[in-house]
Amino acid sequence: MKNVRVARRYAVALMAAAEEGGSIDTIAADLRNVEKLLKESRELLLLLTSPVIPARKKSLVLKEIFEKRVGKEVLTFFLLLTKKGREDVIPDVIGQFAILLDQRNGIVDASVKSAIAIDKEQEQLLKHRLEAYTAKSVRMNLGIDKELKGGLVIQIGDTVLDGSVRHQLELLKDRLMAGGTLS
């Protein structure tokens, strides 16, 4: 949790610098490339998080690896983090920057779990309705949940929209137990 807060502050600072310099798209692309490289290279990730390796050596390695792969702004930012002893939060900063970029661009992630596969027409209709509900562009992540008997469970941020058959039956049971009617 602590790293997320620290990473968020650095990501906000990087976003502000990117906006000021008009280089948001370039920096975002550079960070996506770095993120991909970090996922592919366990050794690089271990280097960043190792408390044993001195900051000077980490800086040299970062320069060697990223000098030709990313722009000057991102490399300078990474070297600054290393100088401050915060190179371990680079992966978290990249994630937080992506979140800030999505917020800036009005994009939300929606996790959609269904009992069976959703066809393309249903997917487009659901996407359209979720965009109307959120008033934002929706990036859907579809999945099948074998535990569901029917319906959908959608999570957008902290909000869960439970349209599953199980949930509907629970609501019906609660109404009946409270002395309500079925109408």
**Is residue 12 domain-shared with residue 94, that is, in the same domain?**
yes
Summarize pLDDT for 32-83 with one digit per residue, the tens.
Answer: 999 999 999 899 888 888 889 999 999 999 999 999 899 999 999 999 999 9
**Is residue 99 domain-shared with residue 115, that is, in the same domain?**
no
d(CA 36, CA 156): 25
In the chain, DSSP finds a helix count (H) and a strand count (E) of 8, 4
Listed in sequence order, the residues at least 6 apart from 182 whose beta carbon sits closer than 8 Å to its beta carbon are 172, 175, 176
**Is residue 119 domain-shared with residue 88, that is, in the same domain?**
no
**Is residue 99 domain-shared with residue 11, that is, in the same domain?**
yes
For the entire predicted model, the pTM comes to 0.77
**Is residue 80 domain-shared with residue 97, that is, in the same domain?**
yes
Find the farthest-apart pair of alpha carbons in the chain and give their distance in angstroms, rounded.
Answer: 72
**Is residue 91 domain-shared with residue 118, that is, in the same domain?**
no
130-147: average pLDDT: 93
14-29: average pLDDT: 93
**Is residue 99 domain-shared with residue 137, that is, in the same domain?**
no
Summarize pLDDT for 3-17 with one digit per residue, the tens.
Answer: 889 999 999 999 999
**Is residue 48 domain-shared with residue 133, that is, in the same domain?**
no
C-beta of residue 68 within 8 angstroms of C-beta of residue 107: no
Summarize pLDDT for 87-138 with one digit per residue, the tens.
Answer: 999 999 999 999 999 999 999 999 999 989 999 999 999 999 999 999 999 9
Which of 103, 133, 163 is the last residue before a domain boundary?
A: 103
Residue range of the domain that includes 12: 2-103
**Is residue 96 domain-shared with residue 112, that is, in the same domain?**
no
**Is residue 17 domain-shared with residue 99, that is, in the same domain?**
yes
Which CATH number covers residue 35?
1.10.520.20
pLDDT value for 150: 87
pLDDT value for 2: 61
**Is residue 132 domain-shared with residue 166, that is, in the same domain?**
yes
